[in-house]
Amino acid sequence: MKILGVALLAVIGLAGWVRLAPSDPVRWHVAVDGQQDADFPGGVRRVLMGDRQAFVRLDAIIRATARTRVLAGSVADGRVTYITRSAVWGFPDYTTVELRKDVLVIYGRLRFGRSDFGVNRARVEGWLAALVDGGGQA
């Protein structure tokens, strides 16, 4: 019984840490490295042709996503970093969108763990599909 109590406290402590750990913009709101699409165990990078109007549309799509908020930046700044939390545990994933002249670069990644099991790739690709479906080419 005592072991069960300790385990329960550990789970509650972990859940609290995952939900309450601060998200430092200095660490997460940084320039996206890389110039081409890539998949990583903990995230994804996508690069596509796009302009400020495409960025505005993508920003609206991302902001409308459940459990997603802006951590730092703005479309006017040319870079925005968003936090999207998982439904049950509240694990944070960070996505940075950056406009480089006529190219949008999107980098989604996890904070905790080693693998996101494709969650960031699926989310980013869903956003990109909505961008194309909602307004022609990016």
Q: Which domains does the chain have, with CATH numbers?
A: 2-135 (3.30.310)
78 vs 21: CA distance, rounded Å = 27
Section 106-114 average pLDDT: 93
Mean pLDDT of 51-58: 97
Per-residue pLDDT at 99: 97
More confident residue, 89 or 108: 108
Residue 42 CB burial class (10 angstroms; 0-12, 13-18, ≥19): middle
pLDDT at 10 over 90: no
